[in-house]
Each structure stands twice: as C-alpha cells, then as structure tokens.
Amino acid sequence: MSLLQQLQSAWRSLGRFPAHRVTWGLAAVFCVWAVLDVMVFHVSSGLSLPTYDAMVRARFHTAAADPRVVIVDIDEASLARMGKEFGQWPWPRDTLATVLEYIEKQQPAAVVWDMVFSDADLQNPGGDAAFNTAAQQSPHSHFSVVRLPPANDPQSQITRTVLPGLWVKAAVPVATVAPTSVSRTSTVALIPPALPVVAASRLGYNNGYVDGDGVLRRYRYAERLGDDSVIQSLSLSVLFAMDTVAASALAAKANTPSASKTGDTLIAYRAVANTYPRVAFADVFTVAEGGVPQAPVPSFAGKVVIVGSTAPSLHDIHPTPLSPHQNGVDSLATALDNALNQRYVHELPQALLALLACVLFIGMALWVGVRGVSSLAPVTLVLPAVLLGISYLTLNGSPVFVDLHLSAGLGLLFLASLRTWNGLRRDYWCRMPRVRVKDPEPMLAWLIVGNTPWVDAHFDRLLSAVQKHAPRCRVVAVDAVAVWPSRLHWPELACVAAVVGPASALQLGWAGLQTALAPMLASHAPLPLCDVTPETLLPTLFRGWSVLQNSVTNHATERPP
C-alpha cells in the first residue's frame, strides 16, 4: 500500500470515533484557538478590519456633526490666492496672527491649531514676533506638538517643567494610578514649538495612530507616562477648557487597555467623510484685512474653530473607514466632536470576546449532543450572518460595539469541521468491511422500517446506535439528501434501512438496537433477523420496502369510509 493510500485510509478511519468525543474535542480545540488568537496571534482581528470599515460606511444611524465645530481651511484655493502676495507655504506668520486676532475678537469657544510651529522663521522674524503677540493675547488657543515613538523617551530632555501645557493638570483618581515610583520624572520625545509663547500655552499631541493596515480607526485621547503623569491630546486639551469634569474622566480612562492594547478609542465617524463646515483661510484673512471675501464668512462666536489644511499638496491626508483619502483636519474635528458630546464607541475586552466564542462552541456541542450534527446544516451560513448582523446593529444603536467577527469566523470553521467529520462518519459506518474468504461466520441483516426517512438527525442516531451496540456491523440505507426547498423523491424507500454484520455481532446487539431506536421505528412488529449475502442484500431491502407498503395499504383499507 502506497503512502497516499495509507493517508487516505487513515483519513477515512476518523469516522469510527464516537460522536460526543469528536464534538467536544473540536469544541475544546476551537476554544483554545480563540484564546490564542486573542492573546497571541490576532489573526481574526486583522481579517475583521475591512468588514468593520464596511459596517461603518453602511450605518443607518449616525449622530449629526456638532454645529459648533468649524474649520478654517488652508485649501488649494487659499494657497493659490495668497501665494500671489506671500509666496509658497509656509507663509509669514503675521498672516496667521491676523486671522487669530480676527477670530479671537469674536469670543470663540476654542481656536485649535492643526499645525506645528516647530521652527523659527529666520527670514521673517517680524512674523514670528507678531504671532507670539497674538498667541499671548489669545486665551482660547490650543497648539499642536508631534509625539515621537515612546522608545525615544529616555533620550529626550523634555519634561513637565519644559512644556507644562502638555500635561493634564486635573487630578487623576487615585484608584487608577498604579503604585509605582512617582519620584521618577518622565521625559517625553516630541517635536516642541519653537515660539516661546506657544510653548507656554495649552498644548496637545496631534498624532494619528493607525492600525496595522494603515487605516485610522482609533484616537488616543491621553497617554500615561512612566511616572504616572498623563499627557493630553489636542482634543483633550480643548475638552479641559470647555468641560473639566468630562475631560478629567476621559483622561483617567483613556489610556486604560480595556478596549485595545494601547487604550485607544474607536472614532465615531459621521456618515460620510469631510462633513464639517469649512471657511477658506483666504476669505477670513481678507475680511480681517478689511477686504471683501469671495464667499461669506460666518461668525465664530462660541465656535470651536480648527485652523488646518485640506490642500492635497500639504499632505495631511490618511485612509479612514470612510475614505482612502480623508483629510486629517476632518478626523481631528470628529475626535474633538466625540469628546465634546461624550460620543464614544466602546469595545468589549478581547478576553470577553474570546469567552463569547467559547460559549458559542460549547452551545453548539450541546446542541449536537441532543439533535445531531445534521441539525446544524441549516445554520452553517445563517449563524455567521446573524453574528455579524448583531455586530452591525451594536455599531448603529449601542454605545458598545460588540465585535463578533471572531465568533462568526471560528463558528463557521467549527460547523464546517463537524460536517466534514460527519461525512467521514457516514462513510465509515455505511461502508461494508472486507470479509475474509476463510471466515465461516454467516452474515445477518436486520431490516429497519422507520416512521420517517433515515436522513439527517434520525440517520445520525441510527449510526450512534450501531456504533454503541453492534460496532462490527454496518448500515445499509438510501443515500438520501434533500436540500430545501427540494424534497425526497422516494421518501418511502428512505424509510427502510438495514443493519448488516456477522451473525454473532448482530445477535448480540439486536436487543440494544431495538431499545435505542424504538422511538423512531414504525408501529408494527419489528422484522426478524435474516440471512444475507452481497447478492441478496438489495432484494432484502426491497422486501422491507414492500412490507412498509403493505402496512400502509392495509391501514388505508381498514379506515372507515
């Protein structure tokens, strides 16, 4: 026998194992797989990301954008218009000072600078001086810094005393602070502002922390350092200025790794990308200079004004679930909107998601023990669809996104594994074993007439009964498969089966077979055992069919008119 034939024989022999052992063995394997996937491999999380993006784009319910958030947009049109006088970007900073002074006079709720003042303008020192003065007179401005990878923190010399506006000033609840060495002062690697007034103002990092596939789905509102102090994002800086209580609560839990490894929060994107109102920077500058803008400039009183860029040439673009080319300023506006309105998409802990998957596997194993493997056939495709549907509904109407991608994916594999093994089982117990030529023991057959066709769960119970009471015997039956909406063509023929095997084995297990199959047998007296050979097996089955037909006919003739 060749190696391939040996492998095929070993594969087919898997069907001899008891159903309950295989079912619970597979359930245990998939439970371990779910835990390892969540804790180590993260395969399902990577596969679920595109599905999550599709759910976000297809939502039927999203909150409207906060009308207080408005963007002063350095778009391509503004670059072209102002470039005639000030040249290419970056322009002299007195242009920014002019716009800041104009906005500040209207008493906005906040002015958020989605740009980094990391270098002094050596060619226009007067512009830097003008912006320093405007920033000093602006109590509503919040400025950006760029957070560098934490691995560089030990080499940095920037501490809380250097940039006090970057650290959270509100007290973090004691229960959330780990008992570490608070005497140690953490340094932070970042690109600081070059202008002294900006460095002394309210600050926040403005990094976009993307997932492994490069898509921005989460926002990090705060980051806890080694000395248990907390630095804030640009959005959290604004929230502290507008709602200290909400900001303190967010700072306390934003870096708790309950939803993800980093503690980042899923961004509750609007229905479509780039939904926040925009006012061209060139128009605001024109009005501030006393000119006539090309488009009306609204009032900024009470508004959260974000000064940023949507110009593709300035490269502030990244993929999001809504668009492969979404503007960074719009993502910042969304994160800020979510913070202002306490609109967060929370996630279940990964350990709980693994537990839900394990509960699903155990539930299916219990179901198989009662109803058989074939009873799960209708839900093979329905179950993943239902689980993903639940995830989709929670994304629309629940503050907690219940990500059931792991349960759906592994659940489908679990069902497929069970059905594959069930096919091997039927092949094993319905395939006649080889009979030795010198074996003198005769073969017997027990014709079984059932109340219903021997398909699906009934057939699985027949195999289980033979496996338990007559393991040397085999089952002969019509290979009847009916897939909805089709029906069996010969249901009467499918009601007849036979247990065939050595005389001693069948006689020993006959009583147990009758007891195990009693609920599924026809009401008339059981047929006796009969001698059978390969040549007489088929006529024997048809004799059983004729018995069934005669029983039906006699019952019909005895019925009163």
Q: Looking at residue 282, what is its pLDDT?
A: 97
At position 52, the amino acid (one-letter code) is Y
**For the chain, what are the domain ranges?**
11-57+354-428, 69-342, 436-558
At position 353, the amino acid (one-letter code) is L
DSSP secondary structure of 202-222: EEEE------TTS---EE--E
Grade residue 171 by pLDDT with cuts at 50, 70 and 90: very low
pLDDT for residue 560 is more than 50: no
Q: First vs last Cα of the chain: how many Å apart? A: 66
Which H or E element spans position 501? strand 496-502
pLDDT for residue 174 is more than 50: no
119 touches 194 (CB < 8 A): yes
pLDDT for residue 343 is more than 70: yes
Locate all alpha helices (DSSP H) within 106-138, ordered by sequence.
125-136
Beta pairing class for 202-205 and 141-147? parallel
Sign of the dihedral defined by the CA atoms of residues 103, 105, 110, 115, in that order:
positive
CA–CA dist 243, 116 (Å, integer): 25
Q: Looking at residue 526, what is its pLDDT?
A: 65
CA–CA dist 61, 220 (Å, integer): 24
Grade residue 561 by pLDDT with cuts at 50, 70 and 90: very low
Which H or E element spans position 475? strand 474-477
SS3 for 346?
strand
Q: What percent of the chain has pLDDT over 90?
A: 58
E strands, 283-331, are: 304-308, 317-318, 326-327
φ/ψ of residue 238, rounded to 5? -65, -40
- Name the CATH topology of 436-558: Alpha-Beta Plaits (3.30.70)
The separation between CA 232 and the C-alpha centre of its own chain, rounded to angstroms, equals: 28
79 touches 311 (CB < 8 A): yes
461 touches 372 (CB < 8 A): yes
CA–CA dist 20, 483 (Å, integer): 25
pLDDT for residue 541 is more than 90: no
User: For the segment 97-117, what is each residue's pLDDT rounded down to a tens digit?
Assistant: 999 999 999 999 999 999 999
Q: Looking at residue 554, what is its pLDDT?
A: 47
Give me the mean pLDDT over the 525-543 stretch.
69
| DSSP 8-state secondary structure symbol assigned to residue 462 | H
Q: Looking at residue 480, what is its pLDDT?
A: 67
Give me the mean pLDDT over the 404-429 stretch.
91
Q: Could you tell me the CA-to-CA distances from 64 to 67, 111, 268, 558 in Å, in that order?
A: 8, 21, 11, 74
pLDDT for residue 559 is more than 80: no
Give me the mean pLDDT over the 226-253 stretch.
92
Q: Looking at residue 178, what is its pLDDT?
A: 45
pTM reported for the whole predicted model: 0.81
SS3 for 145?
strand
SS3 for 433?
coil
CA–CA dist 331, 472 (Å, integer): 69
CA–CA dist 494, 294 (Å, integer): 82
Give me the mean pLDDT over the 537-548 stretch.
62
pLDDT for residue 222 is more than 60: yes
User: For the segment 469-528, what is each residue's pLDDT rounded down to a tens digit?
Assistant: 999 999 988 776 665 566 777 777 788 888 988 889 989 998 999 899 888 887 655 677
pLDDT for residue 314 is more than 60: yes
Locate all alpha helices (DSSP H) within 342-487, ordered by sequence.
350-371, 382-397, 405-429, 456-469
CA–CA dist 529, 44 (Å, integer): 54
User: For the segment 141-169, what is each residue's pLDDT rounded down to a tens digit?
Assistant: 999 999 999 999 999 999 999 999 999 97
Most confident of 329-343, 370-384, 421-435: 329-343
240 touches 247 (CB < 8 A): yes
Per mean pLDDT, which range of 32-36, 124-128, 490-494 is the poorest?
490-494
Spatial neighbors of 327 by CB under 8 A, at least 6 apart, are: 273, 274, 308, 309, 310, 316, 317
SS3 for 142?
strand
φ/ψ of residue 264, rounded to 5? -65, 155
Angle between helices 503-517 and 456-469 (to 10 degrees): 130
Q: Looking at residue 111, what is its pLDDT?
A: 98
pLDDT for residue 28 is more than 80: yes
User: For the segment 51-109, what is each residue's pLDDT rounded down to a tens digit?
Assistant: 999 999 999 988 899 999 999 999 999 999 999 999 999 999 999 999 999 999 999 99
Spatial neighbors of 56 by CB under 8 A, at least 6 apart, are: 269, 321, 322, 395
At position 375, the amino acid (one-letter code) is S
pLDDT for residue 401 is more than 50: yes
pLDDT for residue 15 is more than 60: yes
pLDDT for residue 5 is more than 80: no
State the Cα angle at 358 between 356 and 363, rounded to 5°.
95
